[in-house]
Structure 1
Amino acid sequence: MMLINFSNQIAAGPKNISKNFIEQCLIHKANERFFFIIPDIDDFSMYNDTHSIKFLRVNRIANYFGGAGVAIFVNLFLIPKLLKEYEFRTILAFGNFLLPKFSGTKVVLLHHPYIVDDELFNSVSKLKKLSETIKRLAFRYTVKNVSKIVVQSTYMKNAFVKHYPHEACKVEIIHNPISSAFIGAFSGREANYRKNDTFKLIYVSRFYPHKNHSFLIDVARELSNRKANVTISVTLDLNILGVKDFLNTVEKENLPIINIFELPQAELVRHYSEHNAVIFPSESETFGNPLVEALFFGLPAVVPRKLYTESILGDCGVYYESNDIDSCIQSILKIQNNRDLYLSYSAMSLAHSSLYPNPKTWFDCYYSLLDGNFHEQR
């Protein structure tokens, strides 16, 4: 039996890949049993026990300290208790930390950029840095305790090896999959390109400091000053701290930013189909799921030139200099005003999407790793 800890997977990206994993387990044909620890939230409410899968739900507390408390409870009390009650041969944790002692295979997914991104770590407040230091210490113990560390990109592997050169043999790359909701949804970009219509950008992301939504305010102001026929859609949950202030600024200044709210994957299909390009100003990512989603929809991606964007997009990104408003505006306008260039980037995006796995291939990589038979993606 495999023990899978998804108890802290509540942010949009981690939640979606966790659900991908569960759904693949539900159709998995091998003679394997799975025991999942999942958060007790609506997004996981549809999952019930089967003959080969058991779910244990853990209550979530809606603040940082509550989340830390849950992580401590799961790692120091719940998992050790389960290890005494069940015979597990492997443990997989999506969520950076795996602290209990265990003689079988232990695999953890690192998807918190602050743990290995020193520039991002050093940019935060003293209080935030204290909390991130504690996470770094917990991760340092995790590295010593586990069999393998999974990262989602070459950028993250390099960052890990920089911090843990003596543990380089433990790190493996498994790229995130495209959601099953997106497979087969692309129908061609040429019909959607209209030089004289509004050019619609979309930023699919929750509102966290490193996601850099404030940069969009500056870009939107300049677009308005230039009377550019461009809009930027964002996917923001009004309950997240800072979102209402952001949207109040948008409304007060009448900026071309439209909130379409946080949406499930199935609904995002329509929005990707209706937009002309993706914009993604995030300061740091362990992967960047919306970038790969853009590729599958043949959407050009307007992004800062950073190691994580170059790792995911290669030559098909529409790059601008990080946090440079004029550079970003120029990148947007050059694909808005040049149909052939736009379609060229669109074609490159679609071709580049072939580098990333579908859910089954991705799940098979994890299963092989847990079985000791994995060969790293390149």
Structure 2
Amino acid sequence: MYLVNFSNQYAAGPKNIALNFLKNACSSDHQFVFLLPDLQEFRAVELTSNVKVVFVKKRFGVLGAMLNALLVNKLYIPNMLKKNKVAAILAFGNFLASETNTKKIVLLHHPYLVDEELFQRLPIVQKLIEKLKRMLFKKTVANVDKVIVQSTYMEKKFLEKYPNDKGKTKIIPNPLSAKLTKSKAVLSEKETQLNHKFRILYVSRFYPHKNHSFLVRLSDELNLKGFRHEIRVTVDHNLPGAQAFLSTIQNRESIENIGEVEQSSLQAEYLSADLFIFPSKSETFGNPIIEAMFYACPLMLPNLEYAIALADGAAEFYNPDDVLECCNKIMKIGNNSAVLDNMRERSKQQGLAQIDADEWFDIYLQQLSE
């Protein structure tokens, strides 16, 4: 039996990945016991006899998250180990501090834990919070047998912080969601859609490193040059710092926040976008990028390691935070249908080459069983 902790996978991206894993577990021949967040999406999954679940109450705020981490590691996991014959533990939330001889694997997907440049940019209160997380992650690294990262970029950042733990890392890229169907009809439909205003899409809930302020400066530059455009963002207004950004764009016609969108509804956004932009300064992976490629969206990305690792050969790159360069490239693309068609084709081919949820699940199974 394998014990899997998804109890802190709340956000849309991690939640969908966790749901992919849970559904694959239900159709497998292996025994699983899951710690899941008490959310309707997880309760709606039809469980099979080989899968047991324990729901963990969602607690809000930093203190709530810290309390949950303490309860999960010091109460839930030890109790489940007593009640079940567990061969390995997999934790998807950066932390696994339960002390046991059972094989332990953790997924690192919080860049602030290992990216020093990002960490130093944080305001003092958030930096203090991240220091507490780093203390727990340091204990996690010493405690686990393997640290899963999602890209070569994250492996590099991890090893810069933990050079003595090189043998612990394994790169497993995120899959395309099971909700995305590899349909040539969908992809060909994308190629025929054009908008009166050039529509630019950025899929991200909002965190400081996501660099949403770049879009405000970009839109100003595009407006100054008379380029008609619409930038659509998916900001969750409940996240720290989001309200300040939303206030900035409140009276701007060229930037619209459509709020956090469930993955099942994102298809329409990807299909109607003329360009996908992702100005984030750091990513553990970047699922929206591979989703945009799957839907044949032309890509405009900063030439940072995480973006190059995912989309080299498929995207156009600009120097990070160089608004003028990005603006000029967008205008060149937007005024040339042949360039757009070429970028769509590059995205489509690379998108179809991504692993799917079934392949990804099998890779994790192999790690658990080794």
1:223 is matched with which residue? 222
Q: Is the 8 A contact 1:219 1:325 kept in 2?
A: yes
2:300 is matched with which residue? 302
CA distance in 1, matches of 2:89, 2:198: 47
1:338 is matched with which residue? 336
> Which residues of structure 1 form unaligned runs of 5+?
373-378
CA distance in 1, matches of 2:300, 2:109: 23
1:3 is matched with which residue? 3
CA distance in 2, matches of 1:242, 1:120: 16
CA distance in 2, matches of 1:312, 1:367: 24
Q: Secondary structure at the match of 2:230?
A: strand
2:159 to 158, 161, 165: 161
Give, in angstroms, the shift of residue 49 of structure 1: 4.4
- Tell me, yes or no, if structure 1 residue 213 matches structure 2 residue 212: yes
2:234 is matched with which residue? 235
CA distance in 2, matches of 1:57, 1:248: 36
2:41 to 40, 43, 51: 43
CA distance in 2, matches of 1:152, 1:57: 26
Give, in angstroms, the shift of residue 136 of structure 1: 1.6
CA distance in 1, matches of 2:47, 2:291: 31
Amino acid of the structure 2 residue aligned with 1:231 = E
Give, in angstroms, the shift of residue 61 of structure 1: 1.5
Normalising by the residue count of structure 2, what TM-score does the alignment of the two structures yield? Answer: 0.95
CA distance in 2, matches of 1:183, 1:80: 39
CA distance in 1, matches of 2:312, 2:100: 39
Give CA-to-partner distance per residue, 1:79-137, whole Å, 9 cap, x none: 11211121111100001111112222211100000111111011101221122122222
Q: Is the 8 A contact 2:182 2:352 kept in 1?
A: no
Q: Secondary structure at the match of 1:192?
A: coil
Q: Give the direction of change, closer, same or farther, for the CA distance of 1:239–1:138 in structure 2 (3 Å limit).
A: closer
- Tell me, yes or no, if structure 1 residue 190 matches structure 2 residue 191: yes
Amino acid of the structure 2 residue aligned with 1:171 = T
1:107 to 105, 108, 115: 105
CA distance in 2, matches of 1:180, 1:218: 36
Give CA-to-partner distance per residue, 1:319-339, whole Å, 9 cap, x none: 111111111111211211122
> Which residues of structure 2 form unaligned runs of 5+?
none
1:277 to 271, 275, 278: 275
Amino acid of the structure 2 residue aligned with 1:264 = E
Amino acid of the structure 2 residue aligned with 1:8 = N
Amino acid of the structure 2 residue aligned with 1:73 = L
Give CA-to-partner distance per residue, 1:266-291, whole Å, 9 cap, x none: 11111111111111111111001000
Q: Is the 8 A contact 1:221 1:255 kept in 2?
A: no
1:263 is matched with which residue? 261
Farther off after superposition, 181-190 or 137-146: 181-190
Give, in angstroms, the shift of residue 318 of structure 1: 1.4
Q: Secondary structure at the match of 2:250?
A: helix
Q: Is the 8 A contact 1:116 1:159 kept in 2?
A: yes
Q: Secondary structure at the match of 1:57?
A: strand
Q: Is the 8 A contact 2:110 2:284 kept in 1?
A: yes
Give CA-to-partner distance per residue, 1:327-373, whole Å, 9 cap, x none: 1111211211122211112111122224421000000000011111x
Give, in angstroms, the shift of residue 193 of structure 1: 4.0
Farther off after superposition, 54-63 or 236-245: 236-245
Farther off after superposition, 118-127 or 257-266: 257-266
Give, in angstroms, the shift of residue 220 of structure 1: 1.5
CA distance in 2, matches of 1:244, 1:352: 35
Q: Secondary structure at the match of 2:306?
A: helix
2:70 is matched with which residue? 72
Q: Give the direction of change, closer, same or farther, for the CA distance of 1:356–1:44 in structure 2 (3 Å limit).
A: same
Q: Is the 8 A contact 1:272 1:297 kept in 2?
A: yes
